[in-house]
Amino acid sequence: MEQRELAGLVDTAHGFQSRRIFHDEAIYRLELERVFARCWLFLTHESLIPNSGDFQTALMGEDRVLVVRQADASIRAFINSCQHRGNVLCHADSGNTRAFTCNYHGWSYGIDGSLAAVPLEAEVYRGALPKAELGLMQVAQVASYKGFVFGCFDPQAPSLADYLGEMAWYLDTYVDAVPGGTEFLGGPMKYRLPCNWKLPAENFAGDGYHVGWTHAAALMTMAKDPHVGGMQGNTTQNSVATDGLHVA
C-alpha cells in the first residue's frame, strides 16, 4: 500500500475518514507492524503482581505476553510461547509460580525467562542443547508510570516518560486524586469484541453521540436524575437538557 493511498484515508482538515480503516486487512497488518510493534502498550498494574513469581497475562497486538514480578522486585515481560514448538506456555490469566512449564513437551522456564529444565535432555540432546540461548523471548522495554505497567517491543523507541509526554498530565489527574496511590481490586475484567480495534477505542475515547440511543434502556432507570435522565433516546426535540440549556 503506497503512502499516498494511506494519506488519503483520513481527512483531518474536514473531519472525514474512509470506512476502509475499520475493515481493510492490509491496513490492519500495517497497524500491527507500525503501531502495535513500536508503541508502548498497557500491560497490567503493579498492585496485581506485588510478590516475586506473581504474573499476569496480557496482549500486545495479537501477541500473548507474560508479565512477571522478578525476585529483585523488577518487572519483566516475555512472549507467552514455548521456544521448543511455539505452544502457548501459560493458559492462566494470573497467578504465582516458581516456573512456567509447557504442557506439550514439559520444557520449563524460570520466572526470569531462562530455560531451566528439559525432560530427557541428556538422552535426547546428548548434552548439545544450547539452553542459554533458548530462554523466552523478552519484551524489549518494560516500564511503569505511577503503578501502570507498559511494554514496548521496539528497543529503539523513546522512553515511556517521553512517549507519554503531555498525556501524563491527564493520568496524573486520575491517579494522584487518591492519597497513597492507586490499587486494582479484584483483578481486571476482560471481554472480547469481534471487530476492528479502532471501533471500541473510538467508542470509549470520546463518542458521546451514541449514549442517549445505545444506552436508552439503562438511562431510563436513572430517570430521576434531572441531567442524565433526560438522555433517553430520540425525543420530540432530539436534544439533551442540562440546566435549562438545550444542546442539539
* Confidence grade of residue 246 (pLDDT, cut at 50, 70, 90): very low
**Among residues 15, 1, 68, 39, which one has the least CA distance to residue 197?**
39
Measured between alpha carbons, how far is 136 from 88 in angstroms, rounded to an integer? 12
Query: 95 with 79: CB under 8 angstroms?
Result: no
Measured between alpha carbons, how far is 185 from 57 in angstroms, rounded to an integer? 17
Measured between alpha carbons, how far is 211 from 118 in angstroms, rounded to an integer? 55
Measured between alpha carbons, how far is 123 from 133 in angstroms, rounded to an integer? 20
Query: 162 with 156: CB under 8 angstroms?
Result: no
Segment 27-52 mean pLDDT: 96
β pairing state of 148-152 and 41-45: antiparallel
**Predicted confidence (pLDDT) per residue in 179-216, tens digit:** 888 888 887 888 888 999 999 998 888 888 888 889 88
Measured between alpha carbons, how far is 183 from 121 in angstroms, rounded to an integer? 43
Ranges of CATH 2.102.10.10 domains, the chain: 41-175
Measured between alpha carbons, how far is 189 from 196 in angstroms, rounded to an integer? 20
Measured between alpha carbons, how far is 32 from 21 in angstroms, rounded to an integer? 13
Bridge partners (DSSP) of residue 60 are 63
**Among residues 94, 86, 134, which one has the least CA distance to residue 113?**
134
Segment 86-102 mean pLDDT: 97
* Confidence grade of residue 245 (pLDDT, cut at 50, 70, 90): very low
Of all residues in the chain, the percent with pLDDT exceeding 90 is: 68
Positive or negative torsion for Cα 65, 66, 70, 73 = positive
**Among residues 177, 188, 187, which one has the least CA distance to residue 146?**
177
The CATH code of domain 41-175 reads 2.102.10.10
Measured between alpha carbons, how far is 7 from 239 in angstroms, rounded to an integer? 36
Which has more confidence, 123 or 230? Answer: 123
Residue in the structure block whose three cell numbers are 430521576: 224
Residue in the structure block whose three cell numbers are 490499587: 183
- Average pLDDT along the chain: 89
**Predicted confidence (pLDDT) per residue in 127-163, tens digit:** 899 999 999 999 999 999 999 999 999 999 999 999 9
Segment 156-173 mean pLDDT: 95
Q: Supply 153's cell numbers.
A: 517491543
**Predicted confidence (pLDDT) per residue in 57-88, tens digit:** 999 999 999 999 999 999 999 999 999 999 99
Segment 219-231 mean pLDDT: 66
